[in-house]
Amino acid sequence: MVVGTVESGRADALFRALADPTRRDILSVVLRDAHSVSDLARRYPISFAAVHKHVGALERAGLVTKTRRGREQRVRGDLATLRSAHRLLDDLEALWRGRVDRIEQVLAHPTEGAPE
Amino acid sequence: MTVTSVVRDAEAKTMTITARFDAPIGRVWQIWSDPRQLERWWGPPGYPATVTEHDLAPGGTVNYSMTGPDGDRHGGWWRVRAVDPPQTLEFEDGFAAADGTPSPHTPTAVIRVALSEPAGGGTHMTITTTWASDEAMKQMLAAGTDTGMTAAVGQIDELLGLPARA
């Protein structure tokens, strides 16, 4: 996929994390306010382990961060990362504008070697 | 400007980019049909592409990899759906792991290329990118349009007391 070529690994984790409705719900909760995993687990009819796993996926995507407070870890959402998902579309447009510029150069110099 | 328009349509989940080149249609077709020319423009700056397979026939595959400035490798693939030289090319475009294996969880898009000869010479190229209706992609597209952010993100902004985004 062309979107976010430069950050394809990051995009992969981001889309994977956002593709699940429970994870999106958890994200919306912790964007409002930090919660412990136990707090979160009480909100959903799924096991603590399952919630923990969802939080892990969100964390790998950079969508949430964990901070330790006493004995428990608090999970907080990262709005900047969520917004970066929206910026991928802008990136796609910029990518194609760049491609069109490079196509012009290839058309002008059909037999040159690859740039850079 | 060579790019003449960019249209985003969240409903249809498409982005359409139109460009005009001062070259004959057969010449513009070559930038797609010749892998050595394709390599020179597909990758972003600093990420030169190497096309390892290039079969522009229905059902055919194009595989490429790009190497970044830190030696990081990014793979990608096309599955050709339709081809009619020198006018149209349609393919599914996806991410791959560094070894070329398609990444199962990333969204794919269908890219349709249409070349035409406008009055007055040169070539028009229209690139239409249509995403699969996967939920994450829908969110992203709705958020990226001028009509506003998704309800979810709008609510989050409100909750955080942030100003509404245009």
Contact status, residue B73 vs residue B66, Cβ threshold 8 Å: yes
Name which of A70-74, A86-90, B64-68 the model is least confident about: A86-90
Structure tokens at B81: 């759906």
List Cβ neighbours of B80 (8 Å cut-off, separation of 6 or more): B55, B56, B57, B58, B59, B60, B61, B62, B89, B90, B91
**Could you tell me the pTM of the whole model?**
0.61
* Residue A105 with chain B: CB contacts under 8 Å: 40-41
CB contact under 8 A, A103 and B31: yes
Q: Which of chain B's residues have a Cβ under 8 Å away from the Cβ of A86?
A: 140, 143-144, 149, 153
**Cα B31 to chain center, whole Å?**
15
A88 CB within 8 Å of a chain B CB: yes
Q: Where are the beta strands (DSSP E) in chain A?
A: 35-36, 64-69, 72-77
B6 touches chain A (CB under 8 A): yes
Rounded CA-CA distance A10/A4 in Å is 9
The answer, yes or no, to whether ipTM is higher than 0.90 is no
B residues 41-100 closer than 8 Å to A (CB): 41-48, 66, 68, 74, 76, 93-95
Query: Rounded CA gap, A26 and A20, in Å?
Result: 10
Q: What is the pLDDT of residues B79-91, one digit of tens each?
A: 999 999 999 999 9
Output phi, psi for B13, to 5 deg.
55, 50
Q: What is the pLDDT of residue A92?
A: 73
Helix (H) or strand (E) holding A52: helix A48-60
Q: How close A48 comes to chain B (CA, Å)?
A: 25
Q: Tally the C-alpha atoms within 13 A of residue A83's C-alpha that lie toward its C-beta.
A: 9
More confident residue, B65 or B96: B65
CA B57 to chain centroid: 19
Residue A86 contacts residue B10 (beta carbons within 8 Å): no
- Report pLDDT digits (tens) over B28-68: 999 999 999 999 999 888 888 899 999 999 999 999 998 88
| Residue A51: both structure tokens together | 């919630």
- pLDDT of B142 reads 42
If contacts are CB pairs under 8 Å, which of residues 105-134 in chain B contact chain A? 105-109, 111, 125, 127, 129, 134
